[in-house]
Every structure is written in structure tokens, then in C-alpha cells.
Amino acid sequence: MDCKIDPERGDLALFPPEIVMEVKALACELPHERQLPLSRLSSAEIAREVVSRGIVASISGATVWRWLSADAIRPWSYRSWIFPRDPHFADRARPVLDLYHSMWQGKPLRPDEYVISADEKTSLQARKRICAGTAPAPDHTRRVEFEYERRGALAYLAAWDVHRAKLFGRCESTTGIEPFHRLVDLVMQQEPYRSARRVFWISDNGSSHRGQASIDRLCDWYPNAIQVHTPVHASWLNQIEIYFSIVQRKVITPNDFPDLETLEARLLHFQDHYEAIAKPFKWKFTHNDLKRVLADLDDPLVFQPTRLVA
């Protein structure tokens, strides 16, 4: 079919709806399903494929781009995500959501009960740039030298009081049970946690605090501490990850530190700075939202990984 654009009527006037539908259907397929040696399709590549398959005699990439943009189909873009494979995802997520809403096993938390979200941000490198950068100026963005020298790496362990917006953190040379123990000590050896009735520790399944052994170990360290694990591959359920994303944007990027001592000092200084202005995160994700997400998992065209904003 030889379809040409009439400047006065627009491209949609001369391309029948079934042609537009075929182009959009092609854009929604993975390239390898069409035996194309590509990972992603650009609008120009879609236009060439449409012509090569005899769907139309000629069409421009700009026309394809307009059609796809109208339906928010962008095959040239992608985002990474981890499919929640935990068979007990809902059962493990619900207690975490309850704690964020000050509930535990169907009962409201008492004033002397607290919720801590904790984790590690690993392998933070100190990168000393080969040349000094330049400050921003009119019509001139800040410049950071691309090449750098590695000056070592550290781990940043942090704990966030979900309802009181209090931060605790320390830097270690590596992660592990003992570094995590020191973070727990940092929190639990001061009030109000030391004399609290219960302190719930929300954590992921990292090697430093995984499984029943970690639950028992935390109870041995502090009998009033209760560990609650998030489901596997559900870091978005752990509020400390929101804080870590802020640290990444505000402190780590762009990475330009002469040594580990400077990196550690900057992290801990920012921790104090952030706590002074922090408020509890407005957590709006509920049980109903969880049901909707789990129901949509079987349909990749419907499911969108949850995004949380601090």
C-alpha cells in the first residue's frame, strides 16, 4: 500500500487505522520475536521494518514517533526491575505495612513501642578525580573530571525511626553480622529504645540479617527487639531505602572524595543535617494497593513497579 502524506489533511488522514494498529503492534513486540538482531527499536528502525514487510510503501520515522507518542509507547526506552518471586510475598509484606501504619497483629502500637527500618548501603567508593572540577557559571554547568583514582570503599549502615524521623548510622569497612550488631547497639543502648516495650526492626534478607537465625540473634542481643523481614526482592518496602536514595543524590553524586575519611565525614554530617529537617515519610501504600499490585503481576502490560517518593 503506497500511502503518502497530504500536508493539508495530515498523516493520519491517508494511513488507514489498520496500518496504524499494525505499526503499534510491531512496536509492542520484542525485536527478537521478529527475528531482528536488536535489543531495542527506534522509531526509524520501526519505519524501516514496516516498509520491509510490505505493510506500507513508505513512511517516515517521525510519523511512527508521533503515533507511538500519542499512545505513550516508547520501545526505545526501558527500566530495570526485579520480579517479586517470593511465594509468601503478601504474608511477609502485610506486617511491614501494618507497622508503617502503627499496627501489629491487628492492634495499635503503644506509645512505648517503636518501628526501625534498617539496612546497609554497600561499596561506597571514594573517587579522587584526576583534575579539579569547575563551579557552575552563567551558561556553564558544573564540570566534574571523568577520570579518577580509587581511594577505597566503605559500607554505610543506617537505621530510621519510621514514626519519629530519627536517624542513626555508622560507617564500616565491610558489612556482616558484627557491623550490623554495632548498628543495633547504637540504637538500642539509648532511650527511648533501651526501655521500650518493643522495638520492631524492619530489614531485608541480606546476609547480615537473614532468616530465623537473625531473628533469634537479635532477640538474644535485646529481648525487646523484634525483627521483621520484608519479602525477597522488595527493597521498596523498606523505608530506609528512601533515605539511601536521598543520600545517593545529595551526597554521593557526583562522586569526588579524596579519601575514605572525607567520604565518611560527609555521610555522617549529612545524616545530622537531614535529621534536623526530616519528617516521617508519608507512606500511602496500603493492603489494598498490595492486592492490586499482586493481581496485576500476571499482566506485564498492566503492572508497573511501585515508585515511592520521599
Question: Which domains are seen in the chain, by residue range?
Answer: 11-70 (no CATH), 89-296 (3.30.420.10)
Axis crossing angle, helix 61-70 with helix 17-27, rounded to the nearest 10? 80
- pLDDT of the chain, 310 residues: tens digit per residue: 444 444 444 454 588 899 999 999 999 999 988 888 989 999 999 999 999 999 999 999 999 999 999 999 999 888 887 777 788 899 999 999 999 999 999 999 999 999 999 999 999 999 999 999 888 899 889 899 999 999 999 999 999 999 999 999 999 999 999 999 999 999 999 999 999 999 999 999 999 999 999 999 999 999 999 999 999 888 889 999 999 999 999 999 999 999 999 999 999 999 999 999 999 999 999 999 988 888 877 665 544 544 443 3
pLDDT attached to residue 86: 82
Give residues with Cβ within 8 angstroms of 141, minimum separation 6.
Answer: none
The H or E element containing residue 115 is strand 113-129
Q: Which of 162, 297, 310, 282 has its CA nearest to residue 231?
A: 297
- The pTM (predicted TM-score) of the whole model is 0.80
DSSP secondary structure letter of residue 109: P
